[in-house]
């Protein structure tokens, strides 16, 4: 017995010693291994960088994330150690609950390596300009700006003048946030030059410029009021002040110094035809100082930087050394991977003291510029969502969009399904939802809704193809062969998964035109069973036996391991694993169905490693083919010749009761977001999977949004298709 006890004690000691050794080894490794969080599309370049040899023995390990918002979460949760951030990312990060983020290094320019800020926003006036009542005397003057929506020439003066109480209202409820701003400027200044796209929608842009023409009066081409214009931009605002009648200009300090030939950072003074002694900086307290001396700034934009958490602080010098070494190696090689560190031939990393995010923003007087509002009352654009996952994306979208100056701010409403959302938008409980063309039709007919924006799908524009996908080793050669088969659909009432296949079966006379109701006809045709999510919805009025059959292949949450897998069976949201495009394809891939009715890119998006989910990871595109309505089969990429119909893209719908101004406001906000995040998905992935879930808020395949101003040919053709399948509406 004694031997057994001794052995147990020794074994426990060895085990404890092993655990201690493992812990020590892990901690030693952690001191020399730093996990760099990077957006997934930049992962290859990051791995290339990580493989570089440097004087520092520390290693960089690349951690893939959805975008910078996701990186902040990974750094907070200790899944990553550091990442690149803009001031706007810092603003989002500082509002994360229980965060302990620190800025430990800045990304500065070689031209001004010692400058405290990336740039300083200043107001420049003629030295002898009379301002008897201080800042209030600016009212009625002629102003020069860099451009609409820009920091130093638009947002900073707008924010500070409003905070000082000299600018008019920014919260007239009948005006959009952008129009409130423009009207405030127009009422305050006699004339100005504020060029650019006042709205991403050309029609709204034109209307606003016609309404507030005095804001273009000092521009080189007032009737165009857009770039390029010699009186726009940082130096253009100064030219406007010097040569085009302007009395005050907002710009950057560095451009003031260049304009007057003064030294800038490491660059010595140069000759200039401009006389600096004729101008002064106007300070926010109404005083003025010479432009030849230190400026009095209105606000500054902080540098970009590298963000970490407090767990890394003890080894921060090793990380700083590694970044410095990587910069040296990358600069010598002119390596393209430097860009993922936000470094190039004009920038370099600079060690800074450890700053908290709020502290870092506040020292530049920049927080209120980001938070720039237009109320109270504060407007919100309410997106209707149909699942917890979609709600999470909506909230993240709202946080990042607000930090990037997209107004009004986005808010989120959760409903149980799309039809409840249509009701909620109709009843003014929400403002918008993105829906399939079939639901757009229902929204028009039954909910007093109208489409205002369309998704765009790259070269396909605002349309896509509905297709039928089968396994390559199946025997189906025609739609007639599908009688008695098992079918997988996106959801009842949706275009690719219901309307297009039903129209095809009617056209081929495989279902009779008077065989009402059509869901029952589908259940009879696909007698092997179906997964047609939403068939049990009482609003669909499908006979119980047919609804049961149309839901028979659905699985609920097939990945649940807690006994609740069937609780969500046949739901019209992602709680049903076989719902939507990817869900219908999974129904086929899992062997539940024989045919899946989906979008033309669905099969290729979920095969050949493009979808890392367990169910899709090993799927090959060559194992699937398209079934053509005219008979025969085709490879997946031959969808232009083998499809059920070319149909309109998903659309953003809102209530018909909204005013023209309210609709313009929605368009402005969503088009701004689409442009920004479409071009820079590393900031926020507006289009694409979110935490592994598909088609939340917008379709993964979307590349942008566009205004709907009139019906396209595709929409007209689709209307004809819908009229065919709506035959039964009056005969049930």
Residues of each annotated binding site for hydrogencarbonate: 146, 150, 153, 490, 494, 496-497
Cβ 648 vs Cβ 438: under 8 Å: no
Can you tell me whether residue 679 is helix, strand or coil? helix
Joined tokens for residue 692: 């592994």
**Which residue in this structure is represented by tokens 């923003």?**
361
Give me 241's structure tokens. 């002040």
- Length of the chain counted residue by residue: 732
508 token code pair: 């081929």
Best CA proximity match to 278, nearest among 243, 304, 302: 243
The pair of structure tokens assigned to 600 is 């033309």
Q: Annotated binding site for Fe(3+): which residue ranges?
A: 86, 119, 234, 436, 464, 581, 650
CB-count exposure of residue 538 (10 Å: 0-12, 13-18, 19+): exposed
Contact, 523 vs 548, CB < 8 A? no
Annotated binding site: 86, 119, 146, 150, 153, 234, 436, 464, 490, 494, 496-497, 581, 650
90, 364, 651 from 359: Cα distances, Å: 10, 9, 42
- Write out the two tokens for 207: 């209307």
Provide the strand spans (E) within 212-254.
248-252
With H, G, I as helix, E, B as strand and everything else as coil, classify residue 410.
strand
What would the two tokens of residue 254 be? 């560095």
Q: Is the alpha carbon torsion for 566, 568, 574, 578 positive or negative? A: positive
Question: The tokens of 15 are what?
Answer: 């085990």
Question: Do residues 416 and 574 make contact, with C-beta atoms less than 8 angstroms apart?
Answer: no
CA distance 99 to 108: 25
Beta carbons of 166 and 139 less than 8 angstroms apart: yes
With 0-12 / 13-18 / 19 or more C-beta atoms within 10 angstroms meaning exposed / middle / buried, residue 1 is exposed
């Amino acid at each position: 017995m004694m031997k057994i006890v001794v052995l147990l004690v020794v074994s426990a000691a060895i085990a404890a010693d092993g655990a201690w050794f493992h812990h020590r080894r892990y901690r030693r490794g952690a001191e020399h291994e730093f996990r760099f969080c990077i957006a997934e599309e930049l992962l290859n370049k990051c791995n290339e960088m990580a493989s570089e040899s440097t004087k520092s023995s520390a290693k960089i390990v690349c951690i893939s994330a959805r975008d910078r918002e996701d990186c902040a979460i990974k750094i907070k949760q200790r899944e990553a150690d550091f990442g690149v951030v803009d001031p706007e990312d810092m603003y989002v990060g500082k509002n994360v609950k229980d965060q302990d983020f620190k800025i430990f290094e800045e990304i500065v320019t070689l031209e001004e390596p010692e400058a405290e800020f990336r740039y300083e926003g200043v107001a420049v006036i003629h030295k002898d300009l009379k301002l008897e009542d201080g800042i209030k005397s600016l009212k009625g003057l002629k102003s020069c700006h860099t451009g609409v929506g820009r920091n130093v020439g638009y947002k900073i003066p707008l924010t500070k003048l409003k905070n000082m109480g000299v600018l008019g209202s920014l919260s007239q409820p009948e005006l959009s946030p952008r129009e409130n701003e423009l009207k405030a400027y127009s009422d305050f200044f006699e004339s100005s030059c504020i060029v650019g796209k006042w709205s991403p929608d050309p029609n709204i842009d034109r209307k606003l410029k016609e309404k507030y023409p005095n804001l273009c009066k000092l521009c080189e081409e007032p009737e165009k009021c857009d770039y390029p214009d010699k009186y726009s931009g940082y130096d253009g605002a100064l030219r406007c002040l010097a040569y085009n009648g302007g009395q005050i200009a907002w710009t950057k300090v560095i451009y003031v110094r260049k304009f007057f030939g003064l030294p800038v950072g490491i660059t010595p003074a140069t000759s200039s035809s401009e006389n600096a002694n004729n101008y002064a900086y106007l300070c926010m307290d109404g005083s003025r100082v010479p432009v030849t001396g230190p400026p009095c700034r209105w606000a500054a934009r902080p540098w970009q930087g590298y963000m970490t958490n407090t767990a890394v602080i003890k080894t921060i010098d090793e990380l700083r050394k590694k970044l410095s070494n990587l910069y040296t190696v990358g600069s010598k090689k002119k390596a393209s991977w430097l860009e993922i560190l936000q470094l190039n031939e004009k920038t370099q990393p600079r060690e800074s003291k450890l700053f908290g995010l709020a502290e870092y923003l506040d020292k530049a007087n920049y927080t209120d510029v980001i938070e720039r509002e237009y109320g109270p009352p504060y407007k919100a654009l309410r997106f209707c969502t149909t699942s917890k996952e979609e709600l999470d994306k909506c909230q993240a979208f709202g946080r990042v969009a607000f930090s990037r100056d997209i107004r009004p701010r986005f808010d989120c409403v959760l409903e149980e399904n799309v039809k409840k959302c249509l009701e909620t938008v109709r009843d003014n409980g929400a403002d918008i939802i993105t829906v399939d063309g079939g639901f757009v039709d229902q929204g028009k007919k039954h909910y007093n809704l109208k489409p205002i924006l369309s998704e765009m799908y790259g070269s396909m524009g605002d349309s896509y193809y509905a297709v039928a996908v089968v396994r390559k080793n199946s025997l189906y050669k025609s739609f007639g062969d599908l009688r008695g088969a098992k079918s997988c659909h996106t959801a009842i009432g949706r275009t690719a998964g219901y309307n297009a296949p039903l129209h095809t079966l009617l056209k081929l006379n495989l279902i009779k035109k008077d065989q009402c109701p059509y869901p029952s006809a589908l259940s009879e045709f696909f007698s092997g069973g179906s997964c047609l999510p939403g068939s049990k919805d009482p609003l669909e009025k499908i006979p119980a036996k047919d609804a049961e059959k149309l839901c028979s292949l659905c699985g609920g949450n097939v990945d649940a391991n807690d006994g609740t897998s069937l609780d969500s069976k046949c739901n019209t949201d992602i709680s049903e694993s076989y719902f939507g495009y990817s869900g219908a394809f999974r129904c086929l891939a899992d062997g539940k169905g024989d045919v899946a009715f989906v979008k033309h890119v669905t099969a290729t998006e979920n095969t050949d490693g493009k979808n890392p989910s367990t169910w899709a990871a090993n799927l090959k595109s060559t194992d699937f083919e398209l079934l053509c309505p005219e008979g025969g089969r085709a490879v997946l990429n031959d969808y232009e010749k083998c499809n059920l119909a070319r149909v309109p893209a998903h659309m953003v719908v809102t209530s018909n009761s909204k005013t023209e101004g309210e609709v313009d406001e929605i368009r402005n906000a969503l088009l701004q977001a689409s442009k920004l995040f479409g071009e820079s998905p590393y900031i926020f992935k507006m289009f694409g999977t979110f935490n592994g879930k598909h088609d939340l808020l917008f379709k993964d395949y979307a590349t942008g949004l566009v205004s709907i101003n009139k019906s396209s040919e595709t929409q007209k053709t689709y209307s004809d298709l819908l009229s065919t399948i709506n035959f039964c509406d009056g005969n049930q």
